Structure 1
Amino acid sequence: MNTQIKTILEQFKGQRVLVIGDFILDVYLDGNCDRLAPEFNVPVLDITSQQYCLGGAANVAANLHALGSHVCYMSVLGQDHNAKIAIELLKEKGIDSICLHFTTLSPTLSKTRLSKDEQLLYRFDVGKKMELDQTVMDGFLKDLQKAYYNYDAVYIADYEKGTINHQVIHLLQEMQEKCFKPIAIDAKQYDKYKQLYPLIIKPNHQEALQILKEEPMEDRVEQAMGWSKSMHDLSNAKIVAFTLDSDGVVISRKDHPLFHYKVSNIKAQNVSGAGDTFLSAFLLAHISGATDADAVQIASIAASVSIQKKITASCSASELLFALLTQKGKILDAGSVAPCFSHILAEHKKVVFTNGCFDIFHSGHIQYLQQARSLGDILVVGINTDESVQRLKGPHRPVNTLEDRMEVLKGLSCIDYIIPFGTIGNDTPIDLIASIHPAIYVKGEDYKDEHLPEASLLESLGIEIIFLPYVPHQSTTKIIARVQKNDQVKLKKIS
């Protein structure tokens, strides 16, 4: 990750964004089915888990807040039980300012996804569109006028559910003429926002097809590039980001060359809200001074984080930083990456940590590392630097340089991340363990009766230590001796 991107991410914390749009409560029900209802002879789904999540514009607000910005969220709810759940969820997210209005004419909008063994079966919705009487709308407009001038940018999330009508758009236009602010818009129809001259709009492929009344082409990237002029003319947007799922993103600026950003293949757990995450990060990156190229990279990585979660979710600043730092491979820098582990991976994964010199790699190493990986979800390996190995093993070691040793470890599928360590006065992994805070620390059983310098730290942090069986006669020292003595030292074959 380059210094410029890191600087941009740091500036997210100072940004203030006003979010306006439709609230949707996302409900996830999962269960199993092993019987029929006797009265109707239909399958019975026994619910085993139920989760409530912020959807719609509320997910946008959650994303912007999680990325570090200060957020004011404005929307309309019904006067019902789901509204109470919505308020609690918004409070739990810690969103800075929540400005909600309530209508008696409509229920709080919700989408419930019903799954069996995590396989989606049905989605059923409550409410199609929010109905607001003029009294509620007047109060909403009054609060919008107060909030607008206190924020650096505006994000409009219009799902055509009734929160944003012509009165809201007209007021925004009046305020834009007095005090212009960058506006990001995610909507079904962009032409009605034309007079706002938005900074960014984000049509996905399906939405663009419907807006421009076109049929899909086999090459979606080429088709999106052909939409540039039409979409700019229709919306007056400065930047159009065509999101194309696995085909990446096409970024278009009026009178500028288009460019296509490719994305990595990632197994998606849930794509709901991915567009919210993308545009939230894209907007923050731009108002923090990012180029289009840096902004789309940041936004795409943020979206990739969110779709790997099972429910509608946001991408936090720590998760985004970690994803950007680790996108180029397994080898990480202790200073910038290690502190991210305790905030990110430990929340969702069981992290296993071990360390060593791994100088001349042999079958004992492989067996040891495979066993270590089987103990959890993520295996992090600390590896001593060349200078550290010299201090521990003597002036003739290591036989292989740090780069060569890490290259060997990179090729093992059981290893997720590799972090070099070791400084004058401290060749132990104590600092790494403190930063990563793994669930399990692994050593070979030959260390079982020795005093480990990291023992007191492991105990204080509640980290489990597991000693794995020692593979007899398998060691770097014995291999070196064998070479030096012309094969006089024999290695025992592992059965």
Structure 2
Amino acid sequence: MRITVVGDVLLDVDINGAATRLSPDAPVPVVDVADVRRRAGGAGLVATVLAQDGHDVALVTALSDDDGASHLRRALTGVAVLAGAPLAPTPTKTRVRIGTHPMVRFDQGCAPAPVPATTEHMLAAIASAEAIVVADYGRGITANPHIRAALAEAAKRVPVVWDPHPAGSQPVAGAAVVTPNLAEALTSAKAGGLDPARTGAEEAGRYLLEKWGSTAVLVTRGEDGALLLSADEWAQGIPAPRTNVSDPCGAGDRLAGSLALHLGRGLGLVQAATKAVEDASAFLAAGGAASLAVVEDAPGPATEPSPATKVSPATKVSPVVELKGLELLDPGELEPDGIRLAQAVRSRGGTVVATGGCFDLLHAGHARTLAAARSMGDCLIVYLNSDESVSRLKGAHRPIVSVEDRAELLLALECVDAVVVFGEDTPEACLREIRPDIWVKGGDYTPEELPEARLVSGWGGRCVTVPFHPARSTSGLAAALAKVS
């Protein structure tokens, strides 16, 4: 099938690495870069996915003549690129990731761009298409009057699926389906005078149907699926398959491309939309947009696994310790589960991080240490001293909080994936069983000074320390509480 994608292209860059220490200059992680991955974003992502599926794809867009455009052309192998005159630098979005955890994003060249020029080849690609996807990212291609006229004419013959953007142009009348996400639909409805307190997906969709003059509007709602509304005044909810998602990037692009494809094959609206939602879910389950990236820079043999294979923090592994009512599982039952958790993470190329302590009266210092530890890998196992162990270490008056409550509080933190209770004075037995890749402790000492350093290094693991936070301690908190009791 000949499919033409019309829209704005972006260059997405992922800088992937590991962080095992904090900077001495500021409390921020130091990222050791493992590789740099580049991929086509925006309309380029739609075109890339369709081309990889074996379709004859033309991309009508605007490309600059800078280094970013060179990377884009390499990423668009297999796509016929028909570009207008370069009127603005290539918009580039660079994400820094530790494992699978996004830390920061830098945007370059993303200021509003002038409307690009067109060529006869660009207009011919629209006229000859059997299905069209418009991926509007607000950079002017859909504002060109010649492009708009060609799309309006094409909509009379073939399905045109329009993925809108808040900063983009209004879809041409007669588009088969317009696919805003829920936030975009509600924002447009609010701008049109609808009361946001009384407006849901259906009310917003009805408003947009009338405003845009399309045959249908498909309001996408993430894991809740989508709502299809027709100009014939019917609505159909479409559920999304259950999927463990590490990165939702590209879901809307995949959905719009699949929807145009299925409509072009002659499927009805509901069947095409249902298949498109299923395709988007399968795309995310397979790694999403990140799976399409081209590794162009790699500093030697990788010491860290590919981020695409790592366990996502959004796909949180079931806790090793689960509370049955108020009764904690016997610690003897925990060891096999702890081992299975570590094995499951490593089987996906992930890094197992562990830390330990009493965690009696959980405070901000604990939370910061745990969050820093979790950012270093793909799961965080906390080894927790039992009540008897705490009493031997801290005195008969401790613990203040029972092991059941301490475990529950720790598991309530997003950064903690599992808790293992141990009854000894040190967690060495647990460490030997699970063998974490990174052992983290808070304190003002070097990793080599940790008593567990030699043990952990025995299986190739590393010890890492994070800064101690002054004036934040369980003893200090307990003393303060005593004064007000």
Asked whether the two chains share a fold, i.e. TM above 0.5, the reply is: yes
TM-fit CA distance, 1:251: 0.8
1:253 aligned to 2:220? no
1:270 aligned to 2:247? yes
Q: Which moved more, 1:303-312 or 1:233-242?
A: 303-312
Quick one: which of 94, 97, 104 aligns to 1:115? 97
2-structure distance, mates of 1:155, 1:311: 19
Instruction: Flag the 1:226–1:131 CA change in 2: closer, same or farther, 3 A.
Output: closer
What are the residue-to-residue correspondences of 1:363-382 with 2, within 5 Å? none
Secondary structure of 2:83 counterpart:
strand
Counterpart for residue 226 of structure 1: 203
Quick one: which of 53, 58, 62 aligns to 1:76? 62
Counterpart for residue 122 of structure 2: 144
Secondary structure of 1:72 counterpart:
strand
1-structure distance, mates of 2:216, 2:174: 10
1-structure distance, mates of 2:227, 2:167: 17
TM-fit CA distance, 1:40: 7.1
1:163 aligned to 2:141? yes
Quick one: which of 27, 32, 41 aligns to 1:46? 32
Counterpart for residue 202 of structure 1: 179
Secondary structure of 1:107 counterpart:
coil
Counterpart for residue 302 of structure 1: 279
Quick one: which of 13, 35, 45 aligns to 1:59? 45
- 2:114 touches 2:139 (CA, 8 Å); kept in 1? no
Quick one: which of 81, 96, 99 aligns to 1:98? 81
What are the residue-to-residue correspondences of 1:467-478 with 2, within 5 Å? none
- 2:249 touches 2:288 (CA, 8 Å); kept in 1? yes
TM-fit CA distance, 1:16: 1.2
2-structure distance, mates of 1:295, 1:266: 20
Counterpart for residue 266 of structure 2: 289
2-structure distance, mates of 1:192, 1:163: 9
Quick one: which of 259, 279, 284 aligns to 2:256? 279
TM-fit CA distance, 1:277: 0.6
2-structure distance, mates of 1:236, 1:288: 23
Counterpart for residue 467 of structure 2: none
- 1:242 touches 1:250 (CA, 8 Å); kept in 2? yes
Counterpart for residue 460 of structure 1: none
User: Identity, % of aligned pairs?
Assistant: 24
Secondary structure of 2:30 counterpart:
strand
Paired residue type of 2:175: P
Secondary structure of 2:31 counterpart:
strand
Instruction: Flag the 1:237–1:143 CA change in 2: closer, same or farther, 3 A.
Output: same
Secondary structure of 1:229 counterpart:
helix
1:124 aligned to 2:106? yes
2-structure distance, mates of 1:167, 1:159: 17
Paired residue type of 1:165: A
Paired residue type of 1:51: R
- 1:59 touches 1:314 (CA, 8 Å); kept in 2? no
Q: CA RMSD in A?
A: 3.3
- 2:132 touches 2:161 (CA, 8 Å); kept in 1? yes
- 2:140 touches 2:168 (CA, 8 Å); kept in 1? no
TM-score by length of 2: 0.55
Q: Could you give the per-residue CA deviations for residues 70-99 of structure 1, whole angstroms, max 9, x where no partner exists?
A: 1101211222111111111111xx22x221
Aligned residue pairs total: 299
Q: Which runs of 5 or more structure 2 residues have no equivalent in the other structure? A: 293-307, 311-339, 349-485
Secondary structure of 1:31 counterpart:
strand
TM-score by length of 1: 0.54
Paired residue type of 1:237: S
1-structure distance, mates of 2:30, 2:42: 30
Paired residue type of 1:100: A
TM-fit CA distance, 1:188: 2.1
1-structure distance, mates of 2:240, 2:148: 38
2-structure distance, mates of 1:199, 1:300: 16
TM-fit CA distance, 1:192: 4.8
Instruction: Flag the 1:293–1:154 CA change in 2: closer, same or farther, 3 A.
Output: closer
Counterpart for residue 238 of structure 1: 215
Q: Could you give the per-residue CA deviations for residues 416-472 of structure 1, whole angstroms, max 9, x where no partner exists?
A: xxxxxxxxxxxxxxxxxxxxxxxxxxxxxxxxxxxxxxxxxxxxxxxxxxxxxxxxx
Paired residue type of 1:235: W
- 1:176 touches 1:196 (CA, 8 Å); kept in 2? no
Quick one: which of 23, 31, 35 aligns to 2:9? 23
Paired residue type of 1:48: A
TM-fit CA distance, 1:278: 0.9
Paired residue type of 1:99: L
Paired residue type of 1:119: H
TM-fit CA distance, 1:273: 0.8
TM-fit CA distance, 1:173: 5.5
What are the residue-to-residue correspondences of 1:1-40 with 2, within 5 Å? 15-35=1-21
Moved over 6 A (4+): 215-218
TM-fit CA distance, 1:189: 5.2
2-structure distance, mates of 1:165, 1:205: 23
Paired residue type of 2:37: Q
- 2:186 touches 2:201 (CA, 8 Å); kept in 1? no
1-structure distance, mates of 2:84, 2:149: 17
What are the residue-to-residue correspondences of 1:437-456 with 2, within 5 Å? none
